Structure 1
Amino acid sequence: MQIEELSRPLNAGYWCGASWGHNVFYSETSAVTVMLRVFNRLEEDQNNPAVFSPPESIMLRISYRFLRKERAVLRYGPPYNPSYRGEDIPNSFCDKYFENCDKKNCKIQSPNYPGLYPRNLTCSYQVRQTRVPDGKLPLIRVFQRNPHLIYIKDRNAPHLSRERQMRIGSACHVLYDYLIAFDGSTTRAAVLTTLCKGGAALSGITSSGPDLLLVFHASPFDFPFQDSPRRRTFGFELDVEVEFVDRESTAYVRQGGTCDYMVSSRGQRSGYLQAPAHSLLPNTTCTWRLLAATSEVVWLYFLHYRHVVHAEMPSPAHCSNTLTILDGDPTGAHVPDHIYGFGMFQQNNDLAGLADINATTPTRLGRFCRPERLPRVCSGVHAPGPHAAPCSPAESYVSVSSALTLSLRYAAGTTPAHVEFLARYEFVDKRQWGTATPNGGPCDRTFTLRPDGLFASPRDVFLFGRGGSRRLKCVYTFLAEPYQRIALRIIRSRMGSSCDTVYHESSLRYECSHGGAAYEPAIWVTEEPWEGVQLTRACLCNTYHARPFSLISYTNKIQVVLSVPHMTAAHDYTDFFFEGEYTIFDIGVECDEEERRLSGRHGNFTVGAGQGDHCSSLPRLLTANDGSFLFLRVNGKSAMETNCGVSSRINVYSADGMAPLASICPEPRQASTHVFSSGWRGLEKALTDHNDRISRLNGSIEDVHHHHPQQHGRHPGDRQRETRDLLVEYVGNYSGRFLITWVGVWRPLQTAPLSPVGADMCPHRCPEIKACLPVELWCDGDSHCPSGMDEGAAACGLLAALPWVYLAAGIILLMSLVALLVAVIIHRRRTLAVKAVATAVVENNSHGVKSATHDLLLPSDKESW
């Protein structure tokens, strides 16, 4: 039997023999012709069952219907989403051409789908993508998720059982029906797979480029029976989709190349690896070689990894897809040291150990082939927002050598099963400048090179948040000979996005915008002018090439401290770093640090800058005695950002302070600035509160002793006693000498409970500063109080020798006696006057002189009663 359609050539193929099942033919045109041929029997064809035999009867029964095209939705698709069945290629029976299926609903169908397809035909389906975004490569994929829509007969005899499974490769006989996929536009391209049978979903066949060729072959003869498990569809329908991958990725194999990839640190410092997204042939091995310089290691972690088994395909053999991770490169290649570097940062490296490691043979880090056994996966790295988690070395793979190799072998190709993975690699620079500090941390370094050298913060990601660390502290120590000094220059630095470096004109210092808070990142420049006394020279955050930071040390040792108290999983060496250079030079003289360490009850010294006098510009340390506070007087005014016209400052620090207590603009005039030790203002408030409590007590001796600070040694300033020392620094280049005087002062809490009434616990007082002076400084010829009253006549004249308390009491007593005497005299005179008047009255009454009485009793204007 043959079926011929209108305007289509007649094929030479036949259906013959007995039919079975439900056989349906859907025409591609509006008219068909069914032809039945009967052959005469020949003697030599006795063994041919298909040859007509006269005793056999011929039976043919056909039913037909005329269908409207819009009702044929299985072939043409629904009206709202019609199927694009390709363009017919001229002078062919069933060849089709598909272009740019990324914007179309492309459907690759067998001839006369969904019915019986003609015999003895070969159909070519060419799929091509011409519209490609920049930097992308298209991959063509055909698939079918609906198991009802694919079934290709693999033989021309009835099946004993209906298998719902695809057959691939050699299981499909070339004499029967099959579908073959080529990775290209011609049959000379590599064969991706050969398919037959069906009744199950097809996961997909993917090309490695913009072209895919499918060739469908139908045998010349076939029995008219349908062995499909579904019994209603014949042939196949495949969906087409286009996937765009990065042209520079490892998601595809280059045309004409092998599945081998090599990435070196001379290019990108990090990137992604992924398994090929297209189909591969059996016995294909893909290799990824990650090559670093000898000062680097390779860090690899998987973001996603899974085995994908195609259930519609025959079960793969044991370990059909095997991933192997090697520490090293089997080929022995490596990247030379000079290929990668910062340009100027190419010295003082500890690389001897790494060089030896690179010579070792590769070590296997893992081998994975079973679906239930997976490599280490670090999936929390790309979690959104604050949920992101760092990937630690325990969750990833870190090479010991400078190379790491991945190999993935597809024993049966990708048709029965394949591996999907996405891995991130990074070349970790383990290089650090200088030499390791003995007993120091992993990034503590020491520099002694002369004359010049370079230094930088570490670029080891494992020291930062992205590598699993929460905090970082690196101490860089620069050492020189006693007669040498170190000049530092920070060229570029960054300490996050919330901190800036601020230059204060008031102190001529670099400070951090956050004020040096302990929980904020910063770069600290410190040194110890005296053992155990640390001076913070600067606090740096963000520094730029346009305005680098420069500094010369006071001693032959200075430290740069990189401190990051808190990091998130997103932080690394691009968020916190610095780059700098240093120079060691001779000063020609060795300054004695003990000569600049001053102590005692009082004293003075000069500071300033002058040619050839290096030691006078170095800091001074003032040590307080007997727990007293230090009071400094400095000629000059308190410096602000705009009020100082000279290029120098005198900064006064607490011995352990990070910022100056005061900054003075030195001026040779009478005005002076007063500075107290740290804690003086707090003591003043504490004294006020303490005396208020004492005044509310009931006055018992026991309560007074209980609250007296000396009973327990808990003077309010004791906790700050170690900070009462002062450090004086002269900065700038203004030539001149400036006198600084200091005095040890104190303030008592209250009058001693057992002291005599009226006793003064602060007999030598400077009222303008509310402080007590030592007795030996009173009237010693030098003014120690700002007003000079300790050398005035009231303090040092003749009356000063008398005890002022008793003198005042005597004066008050004398004045009281004088007042009492005057009062007695007045009272006595009044008493005598009254007695005289009374005596006169008595005498007049005794002589009866009425006229006198009348004169005394009557008013002057009355002449009679």
Structure 2
Amino acid sequence: VRSATYFSERNNVSLIIFVPSRASVVVHSFSLFLTYKFLPSRPAITRFGPPSDPFELGTKIDATYCDHVFDDCSANKKCKIRSPNWPGFYNRNITCKYWIRHYSPVPAGHRARIVVSQNNEYKISLYSGSTNTASGDHSTSTSLQSDCPLDMVRIYDGQTTESPVLIEFCGSGVLPPIVSSRPEMLIVLRSASNQILYNSRLELNVALKLEKVHDSAIGGERTGVCDLVYDGSKMRRGLIETPKHSIPANTSCTFRFVSPNSWDRIWIYFMSYFIQDRHHWSSEELCDVSRLEIYDSVLTSHPTNDSRQVHHSQQKHKLYSFCEKTSPKICGRAADANHYLPLNPCTYPNESYLSGGSELIIKQEYYKHYDFYVRRASFAARFEFIDTHQVGEQIDDKLCDRLFKSDGKYFKGRLSSPRNLFLYGRGGRENISCSYYLKGTDSQRTHSPPDATTDPKHMNHNMVFDMISSDVVLNFSVTRMSPFEDFNDYGFDASFEFVPAFDCNSGGLVQRRNGSEGEIQYSVPQTYNFRRDGPLKCRWIIEASFGKHLFLKFKGHLAISESDECLDANRFVVYAGDPRHAIATVCTKSTAAANDLDHANQLEEFDLFSTSWYNETDTFATFTANNIYNNYFESRVFVEIIAQELGAFSMRWLEVTKPFLRTQTGKTMRNINCKVECPEINACISDELVCDGISHCPSSYDENSQFCHKFPTLYVVAIGLLLIFSLLVILIVITIYRFQDKRRLRLSQSNHSSNNSRYNQHEPDYVDYGEYPRLGSELNFRSLHECHQIQYTDNGSMNGMPLEITRSFVPHYHNNVF
């Protein structure tokens, strides 16, 4: 038994019943039972809504059976699309069209979309030829179908039937929200020309959706239903996500990122990704719902002699593919962060992707399926173009160090801080340090014209670098960056050139260093061309001995404010520390005379200590390598003169020590090496500087007449003691000498008497060498004052020949030690 309800649109109905011939009628095969009811003329609430808030059923188009137009549906204007004779069945062989449009202005930064849906499964019942729809039985689970040979509803993403078809359905069930990509939609209801009696009906709810437009949607150029192109020259960063509108089956959405600069790279990190797994019990990936693909275009490049130009040879593609069981790298914490920039940046390569070239394509395919209740595949990702370009020659494998040589292409050029995001806080780094090496020839110096700029947020901060040397290192360092800071917060851009250098050792230079003091006097040569070569600059390094400090005295006055007029005139600039920085600027009056050093010496003086003097950790502690390193940089200064016009410069320095030192326990002890202390500066000077005819202390305390001419008691006592000691030594030596001399005299006389006695007793005429000393013994006694020579003469013969022996000898004395 089938039943159907018909509601007329007017106040009369014509019913025609056709009964076939008896030959074709089987007994009990035909029966008819009809009921009817006259409804009141006032609108029914169930059909037209309450009188205070009636439903908007559209405006019927003249000369049509059931075509309607709906304009500007909203929360205050509830639009409902209904089939003819609703809630009764509609007729056979009809086609009804419903145009939905929204032309009213929308809030800035939003886009209007049309949404149709139906949560009540009893309000959609279209004959599809299946058993459930034919019987009208809703006691069993029913659902919408996409294979519709008879009645069907087709929804177009636009105002014509040529627009993309978002969905086509029939049957009975709940219709999930169908969203248009624009503020217009066309819905077509079509019934078959012949079908059995069926309770067919349709009601759809129409709503307006205001979607906030992201920067990515503004910057991307739409080339299709969901195809976008992002040009790196127009847009550097943004958000991409699955379209919020419904996607037709068998559709591909493409996001293409391209930059005209070959050094640009595309950085992508996904914040969400979902494709429903309809076969979660299986480990096989079927990719029957959707697929996400990433095409990375890699440019094979070869650098040329000019590092600013790269030759590209060929292009390759690297493919990443993901479906329901695999997913791309996810940085989920970025989804909840402000501007999708998390406090802990998404890292590469663990949580993100970076293209190998200047082009990247993300493609998502949506396949046709017959289950209307599969959740739509979606993803959200953030992209940014990364500028990897840097001028200059790369140094080894350093990230951002660059070399510029004057004998190469960079006789003139520009240099700037890197704009590579991965070197800054937002790219995951806390510190950055880049060194730029400018190397000229010996006859050149480095000059930076006044268009050099720093701090991109405040481009009016111009600085001029006029170096003395041709070998310059410019260090760009940033420490402790936050995860939200990048090259837009820190950076510089500068031009440079190598110009002829000036020899500071020529001209009116007088240098002197005598032990622990020294001076520099310099007169600007009259031949120097300020208009052509700019300010004249010369620099000297002054280092103190280990454990000592520097006390410097300049002819001039200290510049205490930026408005001091001398900052544009002749001046000293004193640098110290590591890294080196200016600690004082001393102004000196200029003069038209080139060698007016006498005038410079008559100026007021400004005194300055080296930074090591103010180091409170100066103790008796053991000198470690770190202490030696710090002392080296703190006890040296760089003195630079800057001449804007002709003039003279004069300065002196001393090596000084502290009168008191602190022990490791914190106690203060007198410095035993401090013998002369200048009371005005509480500093000790070397002994060699005291009473040398030159005033070193500000009050000339070291040349005080009382101090320099007092009786030198200490020296007199020392000399007296030395004389007494010398006299005693001389007396002892004389006494010993006289005693030994007398002893030798007595022994000599005794031996002389004995020898005479023997001679008188006619000793043999031969010489017995055993009793007389040999030649060696004779030489040992040549130093005696009294020696006796004894001569023997023996007249005889040997072997028939006459023999005469004459011998001189010195008596031999035993046991004499000298």
TM-score by length of 2: 0.71
CA distance in 2, matches of 1:89, 1:608: 100
Three-state SS of the structure 1 residue aligned to 2:316 is coil
Closer, same or farther: CA 196–471 of 1 in aligned 2, 3 Å: same
The answer to whether structure 1 residue 20 and structure 2 residue 2 are counterparts is: yes
Three-state SS of the structure 1 residue aligned to 2:400 is coil
CA distance in 2, matches of 1:255, 1:437: 43
Three-state SS of the structure 1 residue aligned to 2:699 is coil
Closer, same or farther: CA 125–461 of 1 in aligned 2, 3 Å: same
> Counterpart of 2:438 in structure 1: which amino acid?
F
CA distance in 1, matches of 2:221, 2:97: 24
Which residue among 303, 323, 345 is the counterpart of 1:390?
A: 345
CA distance in 2, matches of 1:28, 1:492: 82
Closer, same or farther: CA 380–117 of 1 in aligned 2, 3 Å: same
Q: Spell out the pairing of 1:842-857 with structure 2 (5 A cutoff).
A: none
State the Cα distance separating 1:40 from its structure 2 match.
4.4
Which residue among 162, 173, 186 is the counterpart of 2:149?
A: 173
2:740 aligns with none
The answer to whether structure 1 residue 402 and structure 2 residue 358 are counterparts is: yes
Closer, same or farther: CA 569–151 of 1 in aligned 2, 3 Å: farther
Deviation per residue, 1:317-338 (Å, 9 max, x gap): 8423211111128xx9x99x9x
Is this contact kept in 2: 1:151–1:236, CA < 8 A?
Answer: no
Which residue among 441, 448, 452 is the counterpart of 1:488?
A: 448
Closer, same or farther: CA 765–590 of 1 in aligned 2, 3 Å: closer
2:263 aligns with 295
CA distance in 2, matches of 1:378, 1:679: 50
> Counterpart of 2:392 in structure 1: which amino acid?
G
Q: Which moved more, 1:286-295 or 1:475-484?
A: 286-295
Deviation per residue, 1:783-815 (Å, 9 max, x gap): 222222333432334x45456999xxxxxxxxx
Is this contact kept in 2: 1:483–1:590, CA < 8 A?
Answer: no
The answer to whether structure 1 residue 76 and structure 2 residue 32 are counterparts is: no
Three-state SS of the structure 1 residue aligned to 2:158 is coil
State the Cα distance separating 1:487 from its structure 2 match.
0.9
Closer, same or farther: CA 586–493 of 1 in aligned 2, 3 Å: closer
Closer, same or farther: CA 253–607 of 1 in aligned 2, 3 Å: closer
Deviation per residue, 1:745-792 (Å, 9 max, x gap): 22444999xxxxx99965434333333332222222222222223334
CA distance in 1, matches of 2:64, 2:112: 28
The answer to whether structure 1 residue 218 and structure 2 residue 197 are counterparts is: no
State the Cα distance separating 1:87 from its structure 2 match.
0.9
State the Cα distance separating 1:150 from its structure 2 match.
2.3
CA distance in 1, matches of 2:308, 2:223: 43
> Counterpart of 2:321 in structure 1: which amino acid?
R
Deviation per residue, 1:142-169 (Å, 9 max, x gap): 1223334322222374278866444444
Closer, same or farther: CA 666–220 of 1 in aligned 2, 3 Å: same
The answer to whether structure 1 residue 326 and structure 2 residue 295 are counterparts is: yes
Three-state SS of the structure 2 residue aligned to 1:576 is coil
The answer to whether structure 1 residue 158 and structure 2 residue 135 are counterparts is: yes
Three-state SS of the structure 2 residue aligned to 1:35 is coil
Is this contact kept in 1: 2:292–2:323, CA < 8 A?
Answer: yes
Is this contact kept in 2: 1:601–1:774, CA < 8 A?
Answer: yes
Runs of at least 5 residues in structure 1 that lack an aligned partner in the other structure = 1-18, 47-51, 229-233, 338-345, 497-541, 688-708, 753-757, 807-865
> Counterpart of 2:381 in structure 1: which amino acid?
A
CA distance in 1, matches of 2:153, 2:182: 20
Three-state SS of the structure 1 residue aligned to 2:114 is strand
Closer, same or farther: CA 601–317 of 1 in aligned 2, 3 Å: closer
TM-score by length of 1: 0.68
2:203 aligns with 236
The answer to whether structure 1 residue 412 and structure 2 residue 348 are counterparts is: no
Which residue among 370, 375, 381 is the counterpart of 2:334?
A: 381
Three-state SS of the structure 1 residue aligned to 2:95 is strand
Closer, same or farther: CA 168–760 of 1 in aligned 2, 3 Å: closer
1:605 aligns with 520
Three-state SS of the structure 1 residue aligned to 2:171 is strand
2:707 aligns with 795
> Counterpart of 2:333 in structure 1: which amino acid?
G
2:723 aligns with none
- Whichever of the two has the greater Rg, that structure is 2
Which residue among 25, 39, 43 is the counterpart of 2:19?
A: 39
Closer, same or farther: CA 254–419 of 1 in aligned 2, 3 Å: farther
CA distance in 1, matches of 2:255, 2:222: 17
Deviation per residue, 1:171-203 (Å, 9 max, x gap): 2113xx22122333233444333211122x222
State the Cα distance separating 1:379 from its structure 2 match.
3.5
State the Cα distance separating 1:453 from its structure 2 match.
0.3
CA distance in 2, matches of 1:658, 1:120: 92
Is this contact kept in 2: 1:491–1:578, CA < 8 A?
Answer: no
Deviation per residue, 1:611-643 (Å, 9 max, x gap): 557999422222223522222222222321256
Closer, same or farther: CA 269–485 of 1 in aligned 2, 3 Å: same
State the Cα distance separating 1:127 from its structure 2 match.
1.2
Three-state SS of the structure 2 residue aligned to 1:680 is helix
2:631 aligns with 721
> Counterpart of 1:429 in structure 2: which amino acid?
D
Which residue among 601, 606, 617 is the counterpart of 1:673?
A: 606
The answer to whether structure 1 residue 779 and structure 2 residue 753 are counterparts is: no
Q: Which moved more, 1:480-489 or 1:134-143?
A: 134-143
Closer, same or farther: CA 27–617 of 1 in aligned 2, 3 Å: same
Q: Spell out the pairing of 1:137-536 with structure 2 (5 A cutoff).
A: 138-155=112-129, 157-158=134-135, 164-169=141-146, 171-174=147-150, 177-199=151-173, 201-224=174-197, 234-243=201-210, 260-292=227-259, 293-307=261-275, 318-328=287-297, 349=307, 352=310, 355-356=312-313, 359-364=314-319, 366-370=320-324, 372-381=325-334, 383-384=336-337, 388-393=343-348, 394-412=350-368, 416=372, 417=374, 418-438=376-396, 440=398, 442-448=399-405, 449-489=409-449, 491=451, 493=453, 495=455
CA distance in 2, matches of 1:759, 1:214: 101
State the Cα distance separating 1:721 from its structure 2 match.
3.2
Runs of at least 5 residues in structure 2 that lack an aligned partner in the other structure = 280-284, 590-599, 664-669, 718-818
Is this contact kept in 1: 2:448–2:495, CA < 8 A?
Answer: yes
Is this contact kept in 2: 1:650–1:666, CA < 8 A?
Answer: yes
> Counterpart of 1:285 in structure 2: which amino acid?
S
CA distance in 1, matches of 2:183, 2:190: 23
Is this contact kept in 2: 1:476–1:560, CA < 8 A?
Answer: yes
Deviation per residue, 1:24-67 (Å, 9 max, x gap): 444444x3436241334175xx3xxxxx5687664424153636
State the Cα distance separating 1:587 from its structure 2 match.
1.9
Q: Which has the higher contact order (CA 8 A, sep 6+)?
A: 1
CA distance in 1, matches of 2:421, 2:577: 37
2:467 aligns with 553
Is this contact kept in 2: 1:478–1:559, CA < 8 A?
Answer: yes
The answer to whether structure 1 residue 88 and structure 2 residue 60 are counterparts is: yes
> Counterpart of 1:33 in structure 2: which amino acid?
V
State the Cα distance separating 1:452 from its structure 2 match.
0.8
State the Cα distance separating 1:485 from its structure 2 match.
0.8
CA distance in 1, matches of 2:52, 2:425: 53
> Counterpart of 1:562 in structure 2: which amino acid?
F
State the Cα distance separating 1:409 from its structure 2 match.
2.1
Q: Spell out the pairing of 1:561-710 with structure 2 (5 A cutoff).
A: 561-587=475-501, 589=503, 600-607=515-522, 609-611=524-526, 617-625=537-545, 627-641=547-561, 645=566, 647-654=569-576, 656=578, 658-667=580-589, 668=600, 669-682=602-615, 709=620
Q: Percent same amino acid among aligned pairs? A: 25
> Counterpart of 1:378 in structure 2: which amino acid?
C
Closer, same or farther: CA 143–290 of 1 in aligned 2, 3 Å: same
CA distance in 1, matches of 2:489, 2:219: 34
Three-state SS of the structure 1 residue aligned to 2:333 is helix
State the Cα distance separating 1:431 from its structure 2 match.
0.9
CA distance in 1, matches of 2:524, 2:628: 36
> Counterpart of 2:604 in structure 1: which amino acid?
A
State the Cα distance separating 1:374 from its structure 2 match.
2.5
State the Cα distance separating 1:92 from its structure 2 match.
2.6
> Counterpart of 1:319 in structure 2: which amino acid?
D
> Counterpart of 1:179 in structure 2: which amino acid?
V
Is this contact kept in 2: 1:600–1:624, CA < 8 A?
Answer: no
CA distance in 2, matches of 1:569, 1:771: 49
1:518 aligns with none
Three-state SS of the structure 2 residue aligned to 1:381 is helix
CA distance in 2, matches of 1:617, 1:244: 64
